[in-house]
Amino acid sequence: MDLLNHDLAHEFPQYLEKIRHLRSTDRYFASLFTRYNADNQAITSYEHRGGSIRDDALEALKKKRLKTKDEIYQMLKAS
């Protein structure tokens, strides 16, 4: 199965410069960025390598990633 790439560069290509700027100037944004990438990497690993995780736990991780992405998007729009 070919899964979509969910890294932030693919999710928000129009905001790449803002992402770079906020990562270097806003600690909270940088922490969100780090959290999003960690969750995204874990999800990708489970989906591609078939790691042992229950379906409901994987769904919860995806919802957490989505919530973080929504917060990042709101910050990008506001800046």
Q: What is the reported pTM?
A: 0.87
C-alpha of 37 from chain center: 5
Q: What is the pLDDT of residues 17-55, one digit of tens each?
A: 999 999 999 999 999 999 999 999 999 888 887 767 888
Q: Are 48 and 3 in contact (CB under 8 A)?
A: yes
Q: What is the pLDDT of residues 57-71, one digit of tens each?
A: 999 999 999 999 999
2, pLDDT greater than 60: no
Q: How confident is the model at residue 59, as a pLDDT?
A: 95
Residue type, 7: D
Q: Is 50 left (phi over 0), alpha (psi -120 to 50) or beta?
A: left
